[in-house]
Amino acid sequence: MVPPLPSASPGLEAIKREVMRRRPRVGRANPPPFPYDIVVRVSLWVSVAVVAVLFGWGAWQRRWIADDGLIVLRTVRNLLAGNGPVFNQGERVEANTSTAWTYLMYIGSWVGGPVRMEYVALTLALVLSVSGVALLMLGAGRLYAPSLRGRRAIMLPAGALVYIALPPARDFATSGLESGLTLAYLGLLWWMMVRWSQPVRNRPESDVFLGVLAFVAGFSVLVRPELALMGGLALIMMLIAARTWRRRMLIVVAGGLLPVAYQIFRMGYYGLLVPGTALAKDAAGDKWSQGMIYLSNFVSPYAVWLPVLLLVPLGLLLMAARRRPSFLRPMLAPNYGRVARAVQSPPAAVAFVLVSGLLQALYWTRQGGDFMHARVLLTPLFCLLAPVAVIPVLIPDGQDFSRETGYWLAGAASLLWLGIAGWSLWAANSPGMGYDATHVTYSGIVDERRFYAQATGHAHPLTAADYLDYPRMAAVLAALDNTPDGALLLPSGNYIQWDIVPQLQQPPTAPGSPPDSKPPQKPQHAVFFTNLGMLGMNVGLDVRVIDQIGLANPLAQHTRRLTHGRIGHDKNLFPDWVIADGPWVKVYPGIPGYLDANWVAQAVAALQCPETKAVLASVRAPMSPHRFVSNFLHSFEFTAYRIDRVPLYELARCGLPVPEPSPPPPRE
C-alpha cells in the first residue's frame, strides 16, 4: 500500500520525483532504449492514410449527386443572385436542413466562380467525408496515447474499417448532401473532446482552446438540428468542469452566440422556430414501427450486429490493458471537485460519444428513419465507433503485465481485429438491399444512388443536366417554352408531357374606352412536382418550383402528417390548392378534367382564413423591420399552425361559408 504524500506543498519537480519513486513497477525496471512512441505514432498515421485512401477511392467509385443535394444548390443560386436564402423568389422558405452546408456551398460556389456548383458540392463532400474519418481515428489515437508511452504497441484501424466498409457510407460521402460536413464535424468534436479530457498536468487548458471547443459544440445545431443533442451535452460537460465563473461565461457566450443569433434570424425571416424541412417532415412526431423497419433495413443486409459483437469485447480488452492513470492530477488540483474531475476525463469523453450515438439512434428510430437506405443511421454508427476507430495492439514486454498475460491479451485482440477485417472485406462487396434496392415497396425505403442511376441511365448522375434523362424532366423544359403567356405545370400520367393550367389573362380593353393604366401582365410559370432538386436546377429562378410534401411549399408544410404515408413524403397537398393559390384559371376547361372545380373554389375560399393569410404573409410579404419583429413574435404560433388538406373540411375549421357549386365539366 502506497503511503499518503506529505501535506506540504513542495515544488512541482519534487512532487513528480516522489510520485515516480512510489509508483509500483511490474517486470523489468529499466525498459530497453527503443523509440516505441515513434512506432505508435507512425503506425497511427499509416493507418489513417490507408483508411483515408480506401474511403476516398471507394467513395469516388460510387460518386453521385442526389436530387436532395441539388435542392441546396437552388438556394445557393438564389443567394448568388441576391434573392436571399430562399428556394423561390419572393417566398421565404428554408428548404434546407443544414444551415452550415448551405452557406459553405455558397462560399465554395462564390470562390469557384465558373466551376459548376455540382462539382463544388462533389469536391467539398468528398474532402469533408474523408477528413471526418481521419479525425475520428486521430481522436481515438489521442485517447490511447497516454497509456502507450514507452510501451510496445502498434495502432490498427478497427471501427474506421467498419464504417468505410458499408456501401451506404461510401454512397453518401459524395451525395451533395450535408453528410460529409456531418462526418467532419463529428470527427473534429470527438478529437477536441478527447484533448479536453486530457489537460496538461499542473495547468488547465487555455481560454482560447476552451472558447473554440465551446464554439464547435454550439455549432452542432447549424450542421443538423438533431446534433444539438451532442453539442448540448458537450457544453453541459464543459460547464460542470469549468473552475471559474469567468470560464463558464466564456463557454456560454462562445457556444451560444452564433446559434442564438441564427435562431433569431430564422424566427424573424422565415417566421418559424425550426427549419422548413423539419416542419414538412414533422420532426417532432413519432413512427416507432417504421423506425424499427428502417433499423432492420440497415442492419440486416450487412449483418452490422457481427462487428458490434467483435468490437464490444475488443473495447473491454483495451480497458483491461490500459495503464492505470496517475494520481498526480488530483494532487495538483486539491480544490478541483471530484465531479468536475470525473467529467473532464477520458472515460467521460468515451461515455459522451457513446451516449450521443445512442441518443441519435433512438431519435431516428422514433422519428421513423428516412426513405433513403441507411442514411440517417450512419451518423449514430459513426459516433458509436469513435472509441475504437483505431486500436492499440500491445506487444508483450513484461512491464505492466507478465509476458504470459500479455501474450493472451495481444492474441485475443489480434483475433478480434482479424474478424473485423474479414467482415469489412465481405461487407464492402455486399449487394446491400439486392433486387429491392430500386423498388419503392411498402416500407418506402430505397437505395437512392442505385435508384437514380437506373432512372437516369447514368452510372454516376452528377449534374442537373444528367437528370434531364429522368422521366418528365426533358418534357418540362418543352412545356415551359410552349407557354410564353404563363402557366402552371402539373405532372400527368404520361412521362413525356405535363398538364397545363393557363395563367389568367387581363381582359381586353373595350373599343372607345380609355387606355388601361395597369402595367402589362408579366407571364408567370410554376411547376408542381416532388423532385425539387433536379427540377429547380434545370429551370430558371423566375420559375416557381413547389411540391406537395412541403419542402418548398408553405401551404403543404402546414398540413398534417399522413398516418401511413411514405416516410419523408408523408404530407400530400392536393393540386387544387396550388391552382387556388396562384394567378391560374380556376374553371373548366382551363383545369384538367380529373380535378373538381368545386374543390378549387373551396380552396380559394379557404385561403381567406385569417390565420392562413397571416401564415402566408409571414413568408410572402416584403421584409421590413416591422415584418421581422412580427414574425419573431408569432413564430411559435406559425410553427404550430396546421390546415386541413381537404378544402371543405378547412372551410368548416375556419368557420367560412361554402361557395356555390359550379357546373360539371363538359363531356367530350
- The strand pairing partners of 525, in sequence order, are 487, 543
pLDDT of res. 394: 81
Measured distance CA(396)–CA(527) in Å, rounded: 69
Query: What is the Rg, in whole angstroms, of the alpha carbon atoms belonging to the chain?
Result: 30
Predicted confidence at residue 435, as pLDDT, reads: 81
pLDDT above 60 for 73: yes
Burial 249-283 (b: 16+ CB within 10 A, else e): ebbbebbbeebeebbeebbbbbbbbbbbbbbbbbe
239 neighbors 251 (Cβ within 8 angstroms): yes
pLDDT category at 8 given cuts 50, 70, 90 is very low
More confident residue, 347 or 37: 347
Q: Which SS3 state, helix, strand or coil, does residue 88 take? A: strand
Contact indicator for 536, 545 with CB cutoff of 8 Å:
yes
Average pLDDT over residues 395-422: 77
The pLDDT of residue 443: 86
The answer to whether 154 and 189 have CB atoms below 8 angstroms apart is no
Report the b/e string of 482-520 with b at 16+ CB within 10 A: ebeebbbbbbbeeeeebbbbbbeeeeeeeeeeeeeeeee
Q: Which pLDDT band, with edges at 50, 70 and 90, does 245 fall under?
A: very high
Q: What is the pLDDT of residues 182-235, one digit of tens each?
A: 999 999 999 999 999 987 655 567 889 999 999 999 999 999 999 999 999 999
pTM beyond 0.85:
yes
Banded pLDDT at 27 (limits 50, 70, 90): very low
The model's pLDDT over 456-485, given as tens digits with 9 standing for 90+, comes to: 999 999 999 999 999 999 999 999 999 999
Between the two ends of the chain, the Cα-to-Cα distance in Å is 101
Would the pLDDT of 29 be above 90? Answer: no
What is the distance between the alpha carbons of residues 484 and 482, in angstroms, rounded to a whole number?
Answer: 6
622 closest CA partner among 611, 635, 631: 631
What residue segments make up the domains of the chain, in order of their start? 42-329+338-429, 574-667
